[in-house]
């Protein structure tokens, strides 16, 4: 039976429409993707990964990536608690844990998280002094991460880490910090020198008390000193005489002088 050309064209059109509908309805999601599905504008569930069917016209879907996202926070002008102006930038690591919340609760979770990170960075760092920004970055990173994670939980976002990258300081402030560090090192050197002198003086007092309580030790010390002097190439050697010996000699010569005068 011969086929009418008009009927053949109609069949081809219907077949093309069916293929188009099938291709439109069939979606393939990767392992790290989820589809937030809306039926006639109402949320009807989360599908994926793999092969899913979306009814054309009746249903729409929003594709959500669940992988870890890395966002570079632009440089922010921060005034520290000790009134030092610095520029600070950071990087945040976060991911979507609830696909439906990331679509239903916020218009653009990436933009919202970025803006929240900027304001939180300025707020947290403004409560600390410059020395803390430079020396305690790990603690500041943890504080910022905890605040961001708590506030983005309603959006289905999990902030896993925050890292402060750079703290840029004015050239004049760098010179002032260098002078401060130099003064601090000089102060520590003076303190260490004073403590060394104090310890040496205490040891000398202790040694003097030991020598005073033991006269034989004084004689040994005298002989040791003479040995050290003799070992050097000196033309003149001063021989110290103990005061006790001089007093004994003067006391013994006193009666002889009296007898001579009497004669």
103: tokens are 């679509």
Q: Is the separation of the CB atoms in 57 and 88 below 8 Å?
A: no
pLDDT at 219: 65
Distances (CA, A) of 187 to 20, 98, 134, 180: 82, 56, 22, 10
Domains annotated for the chain, with CATH where assigned, are 5-65 (no CATH), 69-169 (3.30.479.30), 214-251 (no CATH)
Cis before 78 (ω within 30): no
Nearest to 170 by CA among 139, 130, 138, 141: 130
The radius of gyration of the chain from alpha carbons, rounded to an integer in Å, stands at 45
89: tokens are 């930038």
Cβ contacts of 155 within 8 Å, gap of 6 or more: 101, 102, 105, 106, 109, 112, 113
230 pLDDT higher than 90: no
Cβ contacts of 97 within 8 Å, gap of 6 or more: 66, 156, 157, 158
Neighbours of 167 (CB within 10 A): 17
Q: Is the separation of the CB atoms in 121 and 76 below 8 Å?
A: yes
Tens digits of residue pLDDT in 206-228: 877 776 777 666 666 666 766 66
pLDDT at 187: 86
Tens digits of residue pLDDT in 30-47: 999 999 999 999 999 999
Between 5-14, 58-67, 110-119, 146-155, the lowest mean confidence (pLDDT) is in 5-14
27: tokens are 């979606």
pLDDT at 162: 95
Pairing assessment for the beta strands 33-39 and 59-65 based on DSSP bridges? antiparallel
Q: Is the separation of the CB atoms in 88 and 164 below 8 Å?
A: yes
Helix (H) or strand (E) holding 38: strand 33-39
Locate the DSSP E strands across 41-152.
Answer: 42-47, 50-53, 59-65, 69-79, 85-96
Per the prediction, the chain carries an average pLDDT of 83
Give pTM, 2 decimals.
0.64
pLDDT at 1: 47
260 pLDDT higher than 60: no
């Amino acid at each position: 039976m011969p086929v009418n050309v008009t009927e053949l064209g109609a069949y081809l059109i219907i077949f093309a429409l069916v293929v188009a509908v099938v291709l439109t309805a069939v979606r393939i999601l990767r392992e790290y993707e989820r589809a937030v599905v809306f039926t006639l504008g109402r949320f009807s569930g989360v599908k994926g990964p793999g092969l899913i069917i979306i009814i054309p016209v009746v249903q729409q879907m929003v594709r959500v990536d669940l992988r870890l996202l890395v966002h570079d926070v632009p440089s922010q002008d921060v005034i520290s608690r000790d009134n030092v102006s610095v520029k600070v930038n950071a990087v945040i690591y976060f991911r979507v844990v609830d696909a439906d919340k990331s679509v239903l609760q916020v218009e653009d979770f990436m933009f919202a998280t970025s803006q929240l990170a900027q304001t939180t960075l300025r707020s947290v760092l403004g409560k600390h002094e410059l020395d803390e920004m430079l020396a305690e970055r790990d603690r500041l990173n943890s504080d910022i991460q905890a605040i961001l994670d708590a506030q983005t939980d309603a959006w289905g976002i999990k902030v896993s880490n925050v890292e402060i990258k750079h703290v840029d300081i004015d050239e004049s402030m760098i010179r002032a910090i260098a002078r401060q560090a130099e003064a601090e090192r000089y102060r520590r050197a003076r303190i260490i020198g004073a403590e060394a002198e104090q310890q040496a003086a205490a040891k000398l007092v202790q040694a003097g008390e030991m020598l005073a309580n033991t006269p034989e030790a004084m004689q040994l010390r005298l002989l040791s000193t003479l040995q050290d002097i003799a070992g050097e190439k000196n033309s003149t050697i001063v021989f110290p005489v103990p005061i006790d010996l001089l007093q004994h000699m003067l006391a013994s010569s006193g009666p002889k002088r009296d007898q001579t005068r009497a004669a």
